[in-house]
Amino acid sequence: MKSDRDLQRHVLEELDWEPGINAAHIGVTAEEGIITLTGHVPAYGEKLAAEEVTKRVHGVRAVANQIEVCPDDAHRREDEQLAAAARHAMEWNASVPSENIQLSVQDGWISLDGTVARRHQRLAAARAVAHLKGARGVTNNILVAVEQVEQGTEDVKGQIESALRRSATINSRCVAVELEDRTVVLTGDVHSHAERDEAERIAWSARGVNDVENCLTITPWGSGPAEEWGY
């Protein structure tokens, strides 16, 4: 297993490797596999990108993103301009039912409210506005009105398990799926944030799911014998 010093160095190298991030303004600390990001960037999209880049580094178990967004002259926009741009961005995104979403902007912070039918629409709305110039952050208050489906608990559970087995990213033998009153509970071990996030995405994709409790533990390669993982 990597030491915290090695992990810190690898995260810094990965941030520096990413062309869309100015790593010179980002600080990185590591403690027991938990990475804390500090510093400042000119755009909210860059803050999100720094977190995503950090998560893909082997050995990272969690990320605390404390980077501040401080728009420079090239990125600064009035709230009215940002609100208009955000509205257009959602209207032009085929995955976003923009007619069901209300937005407001205060000091560069975008708030989204409303109701959509599926979780991917909620996420798409936030992604559509996150990379706009002038955005300092996004609060996603959009609710998901879960559709009623004529499926039993075992049917939904079986569909999720089948989707996990089809995944090229996840070792499905290490992930357990339980369903409690339309809430999916995922337990077990995965090797990375990418696996953990993919398992959650798969669980949310099942129709009729109200919520997903992702209790998967990230155990990087080298933390235990390979035979435990079935490889």
Residue range of the domain that includes 130: 79-144
pTM over 0.85: no
Q: What is the pLDDT along the chain (231 residues), one digit of tens a residue?
A: 689 999 999 999 999 999 999 999 999 999 999 999 999 999 999 999 999 999 999 899 899 999 999 999 888 999 999 999 999 999 999 999 999 999 999 999 999 999 998 899 999 999 999 999 999 999 999 998 866 655 666 788 999 999 999 999 899 999 999 998 889 999 999 988 889 999 999 999 988 788 899 999 998 766 554 444 444
56 close to 14: Cβ distance less than 8 angstroms: yes
Tell me the two tokens of residue 31.
């403690």
- Do 195 and 172 contact (CB within 8 A), yes or no? no
Same domain, 126 and 164: no
For the chain, the maximum distance between any two Cα atoms, rounded to a whole number of angstroms, is 57
Handedness of CA 9, 192, 22, 136 (dihedral sign): negative
| Domain limit, last residue, from 38, 69, 100 | 69
Q: What's the domain count of the chain?
A: 3
Sign of CA dihedral 148, 212, 166, 188: negative
74 domain-assigned: no
Give the integer Cα–Cα distance in Å for 197 and 183: 17
> Could you tell me if 170 and 124 lie in one domain?
no
Residue 10 maps to which CATH number? Answer: 3.30.1340.30
